[in-house]
Amino acid sequence: MSALKNGEFTKVEVDGHILTVTISRPEVMNAVHPMVSQEMSTIFDVFAADPDLWIGIVTGAGDRAFSAGNDLKYHAELRAKSGARPASPPSGFGGLSNRHDLDKPLIAAVNGVAMGGGFEIALACDIIIASDKARFALPEPRLARQIPLKKAMGMMLTGRHVPASEGYELGFVTAVVPHVDLMKEARRWADMILECSPMSIRATKQVVTRSLDVSVLEAGMKNMRYPAYVALVNSEDTIEGPKAFAEKRKPNWKGR
């Protein structure tokens, strides 16, 4: 197991195959500055490389915010002092917005406000579980790939705040639960994913994400050559799945 430690602005918890990452700046509604992005980038680099970590959950500290987005005060102070713009790591804002090669599933547990870059961090995850206190606003272009264009533009051009229930109706929120049940629900979804072979989950995510920009025909022809699919068909889990089914027992997934 790779050694993951709490950072100055982030907290990590490993429970079996599940990594939970908490953005921990509740005093500024978990706004993200470059140091947060760098800490999260390092954490998810480790997550991606660790064969024992299969699922990630991302949330924010406190009850007010998942993340209010870019730390505008820090941004303004830096510009005033140096004229420079805050820089994100290559993996993007929050260490996730440009991380397009991560095949392990991520769950966003949105506990409050998710605005701008904070909304983008949530959208970079595969599943969004929202507290009934959550609100979403100021999305970036990624939203237009995940819900109907006119609905996305209605949010993007007005800057209006959308409650969790409407986010569910629009389709970018997977589930809405009472605030006190948020982390339990996120863990429930993680546990459901754990019932499947991690090799199969990674192959599914890789095929879906890499197929978004190609035609259906191209996708069908390429699916069989995607690295995660090739790894799946040559894995121990491919043997274990049918064997467990035949023996009427739960499979013992190895992730290899």
78-135, pLDDT tens digit by residue? Answer: 778 887 777 789 999 999 999 999 999 999 999 999 999 999 999 999 999 999 999 9
- For the CA atoms of the chain, what is the radius of gyration? 19
Rounded CA separation 30/69 (Å): 8
Q: Which positions are catalytic? A: 120, 140
Read out DSSP for 12-66? EEEETTEEEEEE--GGGTT-B-HHHHHHHHHHHHHHHH-TT--EEEEEESSSSEE
pLDDT of 252 above 60: yes
Q: What is the pLDDT of residue 2?
A: 58
Report whether pLDDT(220) > 60: no
Give the integer Cα–Cα distance in Å for 155 and 59.
Answer: 23
217 band by pLDDT with thresholds 50, 70 and 90: very low
Angle between helices 236-246 and 198-211 (to 10 degrees): 120
Cα(238)–Cα(227) distance, integer angstroms: 15
Residue range 33-68, pLDDT digits in tens: 999 999 999 999 999 999 999 999 999 999 999 999
∠42-44-50 over CA atoms, to 5°?
105
pLDDT tens per residue, range 137-195: 998 888 999 999 999 999 999 999 999 999 999 999 999 999 999 999 999 999 999 99
As a whole number of angstroms, the distance between CA 12 and CA 183 comes to 14
